[in-house]
């Protein structure tokens, strides 16, 4: 994936290198600024079995800060924020592999370096007993749940860094 | 062969006559017998579905899930630009101004419309409200929800957006909208049952051109529908997947 570009991110920002589970790396530009979840909406996206984005509704595209053409075919971790522990996504993928539904609070990174919190539900799309793709639907989380997750995820990341 | 058509009990009451007119129009176009059977509530309609009595149904998204995944129904069309959206409203003079102002023990008035209630509950989540910590009251119509709010018996109400918009100007002026959903992807659909599979293609092609056919536009107007859009089986599966993510 292409590094984040300083033309896309207003100063001030901090630079961070992230490593994805496949070993690839990307330079991130991060701003400490939250974008509120759009009222009354659902953020919907779909991926293929490899986690490449194949569909996104209007809110998904709008909240990501990217153009729709940029997102299609991208791995979904383009939205991964470094404040999210890897364990959360490991759990997501192993849950989907069992053809079960996953729920979780997720902090997502936008193209402009800002972030947004969601409560996500991800399911396997099953046709004739086979998983053909995945759908994620995100809704507005409560502030108290976000606050709990900020603490929990920071702790998890600390533990992940120690091992 | 005689077929039976039914309509989800949550359709706006002003359009009952429209559905009868539609049924007559469709019978003439197809040259077959269709009986229109309307049920007062979702339970009665579900029982008829269980007995296998329904061949054509304008279904609520919840029932569509069950009909497609369990009963072998096929989606053919959906109304143009008529997604099922939900308004949560409070009294105009209430101290509540946003969903996040709501506390446990909030008193909710609602109807038994399953998708409205599901979407409504999701929009209460940002305030940490759920079925266990609110006080719910079920009434028969959206106007009764407004009355429960005016009389001080309910703090908030769940309205199908279409029904909310059709409340009188006066009633709406006494209410404030806390949140209005913009989901787009959840809609009523017209489904064909396994016993009427032979009719599927013909009905679909007639309905997709309905506005251009003789008397078609007038019939659509009487149902409050602008025109029909195609709903493929995969479109319907996508909607059902989406609904799946919203129920536990
Ligand atoms: C349907 C679907 C939606 C996803 N949505 C997100 C998302 O919004 N944000 C995110 O960080 N990861 C999302 N993921 C998980 C990513 O695929 C990936 O596992 C995660 O970003 C961690 O990346 P990494 O394991 O390569 O480091 C989604 C996965 C699926 C299947």
CATH code: domain of residue A150: 3.30.450.20
Average pLDDT, chain A: 96
Cβ within 8 Å, pair B123-A42: no
Q: Is residue A17 part of a domain?
A: yes
A89 lines ligand 1 (CB under 6 A): yes
Count how many domains chain B has. Answer: 2
Q: Which two three-digit tokens encode residue B54?
A: 């329904």
- CA pair distance B48, B132, nearest whole angstrom: 32
Count how many domains chain A has. Answer: 1
Instruction: Assess A57–B contact: CB distance below 8 Å, yes or no.
Output: yes
- CA pair distance B19, B27, nearest whole angstrom: 12
**Residues B118 and B62 placed together within one structural domain of the fold:** no
- CA pair distance A106, A119, nearest whole angstrom: 6
At residue B9, the pLDDT reads 86
**Residues B161 and B230 placed together within one structural domain of the fold:** no
CATH code: domain of residue B200: 3.40.190.10
Give the domain extent around B59.
Answer: 2-82+185-247
**Residues B174 and B95 placed together within one structural domain of the fold:** yes
- Ligand 1, atom nearest to A118 Cα: 8
Which of B47, B71, B86 minimizes the C-alpha distance to B193? Answer: B71
Q: Is residue A90 part of a domain?
A: yes
Chain B residue closest in CA terms to A101: B245
**Residues B95 and B78 placed together within one structural domain of the fold:** no
Which residues have CB under 8 Å from B16's CB, separation 6+? Answer: B38
Q: Is residue A1 part of a domain?
A: no
Last residue of a domain, one of B145, B165, B180: B180
Instruction: Assess A136–B contact: CB distance below 8 Å, yes or no.
Output: yes
CB B38 within 8 A of CB B16: yes
Cβ within 8 Å, pair A40-B122: no
**Residues B212 and B146 placed together within one structural domain of the fold:** no
| Three-state SS at B233 | helix
CB B109 within 8 A of CB B137: yes
Q: How far is CA A1 from CA A10, A25, A78, in A?
A: 21, 8, 8
pLDDT digits over B46-69, tens only?
999 999 999 999 999 989 999 999
Last residue of a domain, one of B180, B205, B220: B180
At residue B162, the pLDDT reads 86
Min Cα separation B28/chain A (Å)? 37
CB A120 within 8 A of CB A84: no
Give the domain extent around A134.
Answer: 6-162
Q: Is residue A68 part of a domain?
A: yes
End-to-end CA distance of chain A: 26
Which residues have CB under 8 Å from B116's CB, separation 6+? Answer: B10, B84, B86, B110, B158, B159, B160
Q: Among A38, A42, A45, A141, which would you mutate to test the B interface (most chain B Cβ atoms within 10 Å of its Cβ)?
A: A42
Query: Structure pTM?
Result: 0.92
ipTM: 0.91
pLDDT digits over A54-106, tens only?
999 999 999 999 999 999 999 999 999 999 999 999 999 999 999 999 999 99
**Residues B66 and B189 placed together within one structural domain of the fold:** yes
Instruction: Assess A42–B contact: CB distance below 8 Å, yes or no.
Output: yes
**Residues B195 and B78 placed together within one structural domain of the fold:** yes
The percentage of chain A sitting over the pLDDT mark of 90, rounded to a whole number, equals 95
Last residue of a domain, one of B134, B159, B180: B180
Question: Which burial class, exposed, middle or buried, applies to B166 when counting CB atoms under 10 A from its CB (0-12, 13-18, 19+)?
Answer: middle
Q: Is residue A114 part of a domain?
A: yes
Residues of chain B falling short of pLDDT 70: none
**Residues B92 and B75 placed together within one structural domain of the fold:** no
**Residues B106 and B63 placed together within one structural domain of the fold:** no
């Amino acid at each position: 994936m292409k590094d984040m570009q300083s033309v896309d991110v207003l100063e001030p920002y901090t630079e961070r290198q992230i490593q994805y589970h496949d070993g690839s790396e990307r330079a991130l530009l991060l701003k400490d600024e939250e974008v509120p979840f759009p009222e009354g909406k659902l953020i919907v996206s779909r991926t293929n079995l490899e986690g490449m984005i194949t569909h996104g509704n209007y809110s998904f595209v709008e909240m990501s800060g990217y153009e729709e053409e940029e997102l299609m075919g991208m791995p979904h971790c383009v939205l991964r924020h470094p404040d999210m522990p890897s364990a959360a996504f490991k759990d997501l993928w192993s849950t989907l592999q069992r053809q079960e539904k996953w729920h979780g609070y997720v902090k997502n990174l936008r193209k402009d370096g800002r972030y947004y919190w969601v409560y996500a539900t991800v399911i396997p799309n099953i046709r004739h007993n086979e998983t053909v793709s995945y759908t994620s639907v995100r809704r507005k989380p409560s502030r108290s749940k976000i606050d709990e997750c900020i603490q929990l995820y920071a702790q998890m990341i600390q533990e992940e860094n120690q091992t | 062969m005689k077929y039976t058509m039914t309509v989800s009990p949550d359709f706006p009451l002003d359009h009952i006559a429209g559905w009868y007119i539609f049924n007559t129009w469709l019978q003439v176009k197809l040259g077959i017998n269709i009986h229109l059977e309307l049920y007062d509530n979702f339970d009665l309609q579900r029982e008829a579905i269980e007995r296998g009595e329904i061949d054509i149904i304008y279904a609520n998204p919840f029932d569509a899930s069950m009909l497609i995944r369990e009963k072998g129904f096929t989606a053919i069309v959906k109304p143009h630009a008529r997604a099922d959206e939900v308004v949560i409203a409070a009294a105009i003079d209430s101290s509540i101004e946003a969903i996040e102002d709501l506390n446990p023990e909030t008193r909710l008035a609602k109807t038994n419309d399953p998708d409205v209630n599901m979407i409504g509950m999701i929009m209460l989540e940002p305030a940490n409200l759920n079925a266990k910590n609110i006080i719910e009251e079920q009434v028969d119509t959206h106007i009764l929800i407004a009355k429960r709010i005016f009389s001080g018996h309910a703090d908030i109400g769940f309205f199908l957006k279409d029904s909310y918009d059709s409340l009188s100007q006066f009633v709406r002026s006494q209410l404030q909208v806390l949140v209005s959903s913009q989901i787009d992807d959840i809609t009523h659909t017209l489904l064909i049952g396994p016993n009427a599979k032979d009719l599927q293609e013909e009905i679909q092609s007639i309905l997709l051109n309905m506005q251009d056919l003789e008397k078609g536009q007038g019939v659509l107007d009487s149902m409050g529908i602008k025109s029909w859009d195609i709903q493929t089986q995969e479109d319907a599966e996508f909607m059902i997947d989406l609904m799946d993510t919203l129920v536990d």
